[in-house]
């Protein structure tokens, strides 16, 4: 199946609300666990940059585990960020975790360099995937851990529908539609490896970690 792009920003309030209400516990906890396994505690220090943070569900899970690190989340969709900010305030994380409305790519962020860069499920939204890798290259401090996770485009649209049925059976229709479209828009590991080479990033490996996810990880 060839890639079918989807719109980049998730700025429709109904779409943002459905995303915010969905249960991403399995995938998002997996993300944080992988980070802990891949990067030894004490071998890095924030601030952390979360690119395409959306409603900040990964951001808050990360913040709970790494409870002494400041985190900046960046996203271009105010509809997503508004829900994220409310949740962070509710959980008392808003003094350590800040969300910024920025459309990537950017030349400037609140910090000139970040001690770790994370991103989940942003890449498949980007028409030019080098946007993500160039921002990472620009803002990751030397030696900073990098962990990017995203969906993996299945071989056929039938397989994409199967994955939606398997992993999002109880979710709202709008969320199931978005998940199907995201699977069709996703990049495959060999495509990601090519992007990373083109961006001139070295020392980043790409590994498949579930029936629908790959990670790209390493140090800047």
Ligand X SMILES: C[S@@+](CC[C@H](N)C(=O)[O-])C[C@H]1O[C@@H](n2cnc3c(N)ncnc32)[C@H](O)[C@@H]1O
The three state secondary structure string of 117-185 is EEEECCHHHCCCCHHHHHHHHHHECCCCEEEEEEECCCCCHHHHHHHHHHHCCCCCHHHHHHHHHHHHH
User: How far from chain centre, in Å, is Cα 164?
Assistant: 19
Nearest approach, Cβ of residue 119 and ligand X (Å) = 7
| CB-nearer residue toward ligand X: 53 or 201 | 53
Which parts of this chain interact with ligand X (CB under 6 A)? 8-10, 52-54, 57-58, 75-77, 80, 103-104, 120-122, 125-126
| CB-nearer residue toward ligand X: 24 or 44 | 24
| CB-nearer residue toward ligand X: 90 or 203 | 90
Nearest approach, Cβ of residue 169 and ligand X (Å) = 19
Q: Which residue has the closest beta carbon to ligand X?
A: 54
Nearest approach, Cβ of residue 54 and ligand X (Å) = 3
Q: 108, 94, 113: which is closest to 220 by C-alpha?
A: 113
Compute the residue count for the chain. 220
Task: Take residue 130 and report the two structure tokens written for it.
Answer: 């080098």
Q: CA-CA distances (angstroms) from residue 101 to 3, 76, 80, 104?
A: 28, 5, 10, 10
Nearest approach, Cβ of residue 167 and ligand X (Å) = 14
| CB-nearer residue toward ligand X: 12 or 143 | 12
Q: Give dist(CA 71, CA 114) in Å, integer.
A: 9
| CB-nearer residue toward ligand X: 90 or 103 | 103
Q: Give dist(CA 41, CA 113) in Å, integer.
A: 20
Q: What is the dihedral of CA 209, 145, 27, 206, to 10 degrees?
A: -20
| CB-nearer residue toward ligand X: 3 or 203 | 3
Nearest approach, Cβ of residue 56 and ligand X (Å) = 7
Nearest approach, Cβ of residue 42 and ligand X (Å) = 26
């Amino acid at each position: 199946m060839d890639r079918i792009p989807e719109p980049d920003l998730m700025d429709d309030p109904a779409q943002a609300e459905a995303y915010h209400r969905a249960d991403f516990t399995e995938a998002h906890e997996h993300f944080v666990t992988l980070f802990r396994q891949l990067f030894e505690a004490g071998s890095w220090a924030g601030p952390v940059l979360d690119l395409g943070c959306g409603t900040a569900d990964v951001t808050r899970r990360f913040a709970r585990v790494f409870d002494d690190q400041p985190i900046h989340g960046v996203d271009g969709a105010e509809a997503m960020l508004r829900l994220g900010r409310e949740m962070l305030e509710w959980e008392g994380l808003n003094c350590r975790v800040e969300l910024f409305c920025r459309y990537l790519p950017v030349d400037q962020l609140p910090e000139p360099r970040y001690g770790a860069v994370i991103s989940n499920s942003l890449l498949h939204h980007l028409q030019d995937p080098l946007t993500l890798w160039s921002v990472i290259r620009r803002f990751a401090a030397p030696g900073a851990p990098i962990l990017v996770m995203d969906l993996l485009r299945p071989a056929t649209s039938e397989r994409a529908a199967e994955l939606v049925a398997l992993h999002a059976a109880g979710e709202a229709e709008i969320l199931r539609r978005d998940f199907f479209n995201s699977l069709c828009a996703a990049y495959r590991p060999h495509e990601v490896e090519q992007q990373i080479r083109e961006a001139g990033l070295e020392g980043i490996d790409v590994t498949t970690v579930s029936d629908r996810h790959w990670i790209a990880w390493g140090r800047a």
